[in-house]
Structure 1
Amino acid sequence: MRTFMISWIPQYLQILRSPSRLFHGCNRLLTSRIISYYDSVNQCEKELPKYFNFASDVLDEWLQLEKDGRRPANPAFWWVNDEGEEVKWSFEELGFLSRKTANILSEACGLQRGDRVLAVLPRVPEWWLLSIACIRAGIVFIPGTSQLTAKDILYRLQASKAKCIITNDTLAPAVESILPDCQFLKAKLIVAKGNRDGWLNLRELFAVTSADHKCVKTRNEDPMLIYFTSGSTGSPKMVVQSHIKSFMLCEPFIFPLCFIRYWMNLTPSDIMWNTSDTGWVKAAWSSIFAPWISGSCVFVHNMPQFKPTIIAETLSRYPITIFCTAPTAYRMLVQHDVSSYKFMTLKHCLSGGEPLNPEVMEKWKIQTGLDIYEGYGQTETVTICANMKGMKIKPGSLGKAVPPYNVRIIDDHGAVLPKGEEGNIAIQVQPSRPFCMFSEYLDNPEKTAACMTGNFYVTGDRGIMDEEGYVWFVGRSDDIINSAGYRIGPFEVESALIQHPAVSESAVVSSPDPIRGEVVKAFVVLAPAFASHDPEKLTRDLQQHVKKVTAPYKYPRKVEFVQSLPKTATGKIQRKVLRNKEWGKA
């Protein structure tokens, strides 16, 4: 496998230097060859590597190219914060530090290959070291947003059976409050300047740990990542991604050429800033795998809160060439009006996580002179559709299907619908399943089976495909709320609300919002004892209660008190009725 990687990186560099007209207009011959290649892989006519490890087979190869002077003088990693602190690592330094971190996990924390680690950290440099260290050691990395509460963390620890948790001094007290119920937890690692009783300190362990580490030889089907994703009913599900998912970004003439080069537009000379929270899968794919496969620099600004002025100033101050953020951020930026800023090096803008409004694309183009290339995907699949460089951009569309995915619009029975008809956005998985899809919902075969209809994996989104193959998003087919790119399951919010003594019943749905696209709205039936309470004060009380019980981003920004909720004959709440009312479809 090492020979394979050494052979392809120089060839890949040559491809990246080729003129962009190579793919102009989505060259049909190239596209057909890409699809043909992936068909042969999916049908087992071409053999995937038995072993693959992103750390040794990719990062260590860039390290060698860097030493040989065959990579531009870019850092591999560049981190800044609002206090003026700055961290820069070369691939050599990244390799050295991640090997130390791998030894800390194995020796100090006592973790073995296949063990699971929950990491709940903000955008600190250690998060990148830990993610690569886990890959080196064959440990399964489970990222979580730093907005998780004690209850959220407990659920994740119990469901995943993680043997180690890694967090900072802000969240350490929440972890300590649930320790009696964490029967699988063996080690606690803190990222902090000072010591804390009962915790191993990552920064102190660096000083006494060797960087001599031999990378584990991981099989392509071995689990690499687990992400928790919200569902419309029940608790969040565990999505398993194996090591082969990072290989799919490495195939030299196929995926990078189509995905990295012509959606992300990445080369070894680029500096990419992706603003995703570390708890979301977008951080893995756009702040680790895609840029480092390309030999690009990963740029990070550790902002506790999103502020348009800070974003604009950062794009002006630093030589960022590729910028990726959520549509909500673009909406806030164009409202702020960034036309007075000079983004001297910025050349390519990406968006994902939620639908992007055409008017926002138009205003961004007017204010910056740059297009926004939208991509669409899920935790389970990564990118499904995208607007590639060289394609005609149709504002409001998700772009076209990205190989190896065969995207279709189907009805509820699995039949492919004609162009122009609304249906379920789906991916063909029979007779062969794309190797780059998620492995399964861990310990949940029912949910794994439920997302399949006929020959297709159903995304849960509704859409339309036009005559040219562009996919247009219509809405969610279930009750998931996508607010500013955060996927929120109504069941989780309803479960939090019902714990308040004032709430007799509740139903949570999406409600339109000019900035976030949609927000959480709760319809609440009050308990008799609270019927005469001040509604404004009670609304604030309920919002604060939800923030304490579950992750704060899930709280209902709108609350409406009602006498009753619409229900079916069997007593099931009809969220769809309330959602349609909110969106003017009643």
Structure 2
Amino acid sequence: MLSIFDQGPPIPCPAPFNLAAHVLRRANECSDKTALSVLRTDDADDWAYRELQAAILGTGTGLLQAGLNPGDIALMRLGNTVDFPIAYLGAIAVGIVPVPTSSQLTAPETARMISDLSPAAILRDPAVACAPHPFQIGLAELTAMRDLPSADYDLGDPERLAYVVYTSGTSGKPRAVAHVHRAIWARQMMVDGWYGLRDTDRLCHAGAFNWTYTLGTGLMDPWTIGATALIPEPGTDITSLPDLLRQHRATIFAAAPGVFRKMLSDADRINLPDLRHGLCAGEKLSRHLHEHWHSATKTELYEAYGMSECSTFISSSPTHPARGDALGQPQPGRRVAILGPDGPVSQGQEGTIAIHRSDPGLMLTYLNAPQEVDERMQGDWFLTGDQGAMAEDGQVTYLGRDDDMMNAGGYRVSPVEVESVLSRCPGITQVGAAAVEVKEDTFVIAAFYSGPEKLDDADLRAYVQANLARYKQPRAFVHLPALPTGGNGKLLRRALPAYFKASTE
């Protein structure tokens, strides 16, 4: 049997359609129910569904009155606050295309995005770094828009552009991933295929408002079914999360593996009486961490695999738990295959994880780089670049990347992008970047460089802080007489972690 999972297509997305309208489809019937609680140690800032919907649709009105039009691109340079999802959904509600970005990005990084996208406007918190742009809508203006009359939803073809997210490409240049309105329709497959989510749930996500993982899993998906989203206020210490989960009676908790790891660092037992289970994504969950969480909380942890181009589509869930070291299985309605050079491989054999081009959650294209989409297609299959093996029951085991993409703290980062920045640093002749394990299950980005002499680590840190977002910055620097290369002179990135280990012994 071949490694193909196909149990039939999902229900087609209806038309006309609007992503934000789908997210808020239960807002009227859940009018007085709490949609969002921003959690603090002593209380919470609560938003009822009617307040949330009014703020979003008022923002939509304000953006149109400011001169933006449906189809315009708006780059989002906002911080980790509730302003972010309100502006994001407000734009989508009226057909404007938001581009959510991390507030950690530097001005030079945003300059490249502005050149790439030619946005009509920047939605801007003045405290967040951004390159110059002639039309910036400030945070105070955005906040005032919430009190305006509600806009009508811009309904239309579900295949039209809805939002854009950036991902690090294997070329080293971040790519603008274009998603259409039907992307939210596809996320329904996660409700049972990963979350086990109910409208009575109180789902807490530990991530920032401006992280796409939080936007989807932590906010939009709970709102779509009328559940309550819980988000810790910015700056919350991870060690205080157990208390917050208890105090606010969270029933589901979502985070990247690093958060679970820190919560467990000094605890053999965490009492969470209302918690049904946890959700984990962003990087591979180790068996050790999984077992530690289960032992400490007596609850299960369900893992998901996905990417910026298609969100999550393989996962474990309460109804279909993972077996052994497997990630889980493709969600109902997904078409997934494990491919070799000649097509799907036999069950149990290693190949590249791929998703069918018909998946409603698959991106439309890479803006300004459609040829890269063609390069990642093998017939009707989109190649993820990750290796896996599929068992007879559809369970997929993750076997690592077929390139050198790094993953530290839940963020996928191209080593080429980090190397490109450091190669311009005076005193560096050659540079390579790799994720290294600093302790069990904890990885950071390290930079390995050659040059006339060892450079001061503080100077190197200052250089990357000025030119790279925090999650892309190397945390360690290793000077080598020469970097390892192959017979053709190309850098052997996979050999670099051994040099880090040697430097610390």
TM-based fold match above 0.5: yes
Distance between the aligned counterparts of 1:471 and 1:261, measured in 2? 18
Contact in 1 for aligned 2:478/2:500 (Cα 8 Å): no
Whether the aligned pair in 2 keeps the contact of 1:410 and 1:417 (CA below 8 Å) is yes
Spell out the pairing of 1:428-467 with structure 2 (5 A cutoff): 428-429=356-357, 433-467=358-392
Query: What pairs up with 1:376-391 in 2 under 5 angstroms?
Result: 376-391=305-320
1:51 maps to 2:23: no
The answer on whether the counterparts of 2:239 and 2:262 sit within 8 Å (CA) in structure 1 is: no
Deviations 1:76-104 (A, max 9, x none): 1111346x674212221111111211122
- Give the structure 2 partner of residue 219 of structure 1: 157
Shift of 1:156: 1.5
Secondary structure, aligned partner of 2:8: helix
Of 157, 165, 171, 2:122 maps to 165
Among 488, 491, 505, the alignment partner of 1:573 is 491
The answer to whether the 8 Å contact 1:521/1:557 transfers is yes
2:480 matches 1:551: no
State how 1:398-413 maps to structure 2 within 5 Å. Answer: 398-411=327-340, 413=341
> Secondary structure of 1:64's match?
coil
Shift of 1:349: 0.8
Match of 1:95 among 49, 53, 71: 53
* TM-score (normalizing by structure 1): 0.80
- Give the equivalent residue in structure 1 for 2:283: 354
Question: 2:205 — aligned with what?
Answer: 274
Q: For the structure 1 residues 469 and 204, does the alpha-carbon distance in structure 2 shift closer, same or farther, using more than 3 Å as the test?
A: closer
Letter in 2 for 1:304: G
Aligned residue for 1:374?
303
Question: What code does the residue aligned with 1:281 have?
Answer: T
Q: Secondary structure at the match of 1:425?
A: strand
Is the contact between residue 204 and residue 250 of structure 2 (CA under 8 Å) also seen in structure 1?
Answer: yes
Aligned: 1:326 with 2:256:
yes
Contact persistence 2:261–2:289 (CA under 8 A):
yes
Query: Is 2:142 the partner of 1:202?
Result: yes
Question: What is the Cα-based RMSD across aligned positions, in Å?
Answer: 2.4
Equivalence for 1:21: none
Q: Does the 8 Å CA contact 1:483/1:516 hold for their aligned counterparts?
A: no
- SS for the counterpart of 2:265 is helix
- What letter corresponds to residue 62 of structure 2 in structure 1? I
Partner of 1:137: 94
Per-residue CA shift, 1:16-72, capped at 9, x if unaligned? Answer: xxxxxxxxxxxxxxxx9x93243xx6xxxxx6423211333451x4133225xxxxx
Structure 2 residue 51 is matched with structure 1 residue 113: no
Residue 355 of structure 2 is aligned to residue 427 of structure 1:
yes
Which residue of the other structure, out of 72, 75, 82, is the alignment partner of 2:34? 75
**Kindly tell me: are residues 498 and 189 of structure 1, through their superposed partners in 2, closer, same or farther at Cα, counting changes over 3 Å?**
same
Q: 2:323 aligns with which of 394, 406, 419?
A: 394
Counterpart of 1:62 in structure 2 is 26
Deviation larger for 314-323 or 277-286: 277-286
Instruction: Work out whether residues 97 and 211 of structure 1, in 8 Å CA contact, stay in contact via their aligned partners in 2.
Output: no
Quickly say closer, same or farther: Cα 1:515–1:121, change in 2 above 3 A.
Answer: farther
Q: Closer, same or farther in 2 for the Cα pair 1:515/1:115, shift >3 Å?
A: farther
SS at match of 2:28: helix
Deviation per residue, 1:194-215 (Å, 9 max, x gap): xxxxxxx323455xx5224222
Of the two, which has the highest radius of gyration?
1
Change (3 A) 1:278 1:441: farther
- Matched to 1:219, the amino acid is D
1:507-526 mapped onto 2 (5 Å cutoff): 507-514=432-439, 517-526=442-451
Which stretch of structure 1 is more off in the superposition, 139-148 or 210-219? 210-219
Give me the identity figure in percent. Answer: 26
The structure with the largest strand share of the pair is 2
How is 1:31-46 mapped onto 2 (pairs within 5 angstroms)? 35-38=7-10
Residue 524 of structure 1: CA displacement? 0.3
How many residues are treated as equivalent by the alignment?
498
Q: CA deviation at 1:395?
A: 4.7
- State the match for 2:106 in structure 1: 149
Where structure 1 has 5 or more consecutive residues not aligned to the other structure, the ranges are 1-31, 42-46, 68-72, 180-184, 193-200
Task: Tell me the equivalent position of 2:80.
Answer: 123
Q: CA deviation at 1:342?
A: 2.9
SS of equivalent residue, structure 2 residue 366 = coil
- Are 2:322 and 2:329, in contact at CA under 8 Å, matched by a contact in 1? no
Query: Does the 8 Å CA contact 1:328/1:515 hold for their aligned counterparts?
Result: no
SS at match of 1:342: coil
Contact 1:123 1:301 in 2 (8 A): no
Cα 1:395–1:187 change in 2 (3 A) is: farther
CA contact (8 A) 1:74 1:269 kept: no
Q: Is the 8 A contact 1:520 1:558 kept in 2?
A: yes
In 2, Cα distance between equivalents of 1:311 and 1:437 = 33
- Does the 8 Å contact 2:205/2:253 carry over to 1? yes
On the 8 A contact 1:331/1:515 being kept in 2, the answer is no
Write out aligned runs for 1:524-535 (5 A).
524-526=449-451, 528=452, 531=453, 533=454
Amino acid at match of 2:262: M
Q: Distance in 2 between matches of 1:137 and 1:85?
A: 34
Moved more, 155-164 or 413-422: 413-422
Q: Is residue 415 of structure 1 aligned with residue 343 of structure 2?
A: yes
Aligned equivalent of 1:197? none
2:22, 2:184 within 8 Å by CA — same for their partners in 1? no
Unaligned residue ranges in structure 2 (runs of 5+): none
The alpha-carbon distance between structure 1 residues 262 and 419, as it changes in their structure 2 partners (threshold 3 A), is closer
Distance in 1 (CA, whole Å) between partners of 2:501 and 2:342 is 28
- Summarize the Cα distance change of 1:393–1:36 in structure 2 as closer, same or farther, 3 Å threshold: closer
Q: What residue is the counterpart of 2:459 in the other structure?
A: 541
- Structure number with greater CO (CA < 8 Å, separation at least 6) is 2
**Code of the aligned partner of 2:56:** S
Task: Report the residue type matching 2:16 in the other structure.
Answer: Y
* Inter-CA distance 58–577: structure 2 relative to 1 (3 Å threshold): closer
CA distance in 2, matches of 1:481, 1:573: 15
Does residue 423 of structure 2 align to residue 482 of structure 1?
Answer: no
Query: Contact (CA 8 Å) 1:512, 1:582: kept in 2 or not?
Result: no
Q: 1:128 to 1:80 in 2, by over 3 A?
A: same
AA aligned opposite 1:77 = L
Read off the aligned partner of 1:513 and give its amino acid letter: V
* Mapped partners of 1:438, 1:77: distance in 2: 28
Which range moved further: 362-371 or 397-406?
397-406
Distance in 2 between residues matched to 1:212 and 1:463, nearest whole Å:
47
CA contact (8 A) 2:175 2:367 kept: yes
* SS class of match (2:76): strand
Give CA deviations for 1:245-303 in whole Å, capped at 9, x if unaligned: 112345xxxx3xxx213521222211111223344331232123311121111111123
Tell me if the contact between 1:414 and 1:453 (Cα under 8 Å) persists in the aligned partners: no
